[in-house]
Homo-oligomer: A and B are copies of this chain.
Amino acid sequence: MTELPPSAVAAELARYAALTRSAMEEFLVLGRPSEYLYELIREYPDRGGKGIRPAVLLATCQAYGGEVDEGVRAAVSLEMLHNAFLIHDDIEDNSPLRRGLPTLHDRHGLGLALNAGDALASLALQPVRADSGLTGRLRDTLISEFSTVIRHTTEGQALELGWRRDEVADLVPSDYIELAGKKTCWYTTVAPLRMGAIIGSHGMATLGALSRFGFYLGLAFQTRDDLLDVERDSPHGKAPLGDIREGKHTLLLIHLMTTVDDGERSWLANFLRTPSSDKTAADCARVLDMMEQNGSVDFAREFEADMAAAARATIGPAFADVPPSAHVDFLRGLVEFVVDRRS
Interface residues of chain A, those whose CB is within 8 Å of chain B, are 29, 31-33, 35-37, 88, 91-93, 108-112, 114-116, 118-119, 121-123, 125-126, 129, 136, 140, 143-144, 147, 150-151, 154-155, 157-159, 161-162, 165
Contacts and interface: CB of A to CB of B under 8 A. Distances in A.
A73 B123 CA distance: 22
Nearest to A108: B165
B158 A36 contact: yes
A118 B115 contact: no
A53 to B, nearest CB: 18
A259 B35 CA distance: 27
A191 B37 CA distance: 22
A283 B165 CA distance: 35
B92 A32 contact: no
Contacts of A116: 154, 158
B118 A147 contact: no
A40 to B, nearest CB: 8
A176 to B, nearest CB: 15
B92 A158 contact: no
Given A36-B161, A129-B143, 17 more contacts: A31-B155, A33-B155, A33-B162, A35-B162, A37-B158, A88-B118, A91-B114, A93-B111, A108-B165, A109-B165, A111-B165, A112-B165, A119-B155, A119-B158, A122-B147, A129-B140, A136-B136
Contacts of A155: 31-33, 37, 119
Nearest to A148: B122
Contacts of A140: 129
Given A112-B161, A136-B136, A159-B33, A118 B119 contact: no
Contacts of A126: 147
Contact of A115 (B108, B119, B121, B157): B157
Contacts of A144: 129
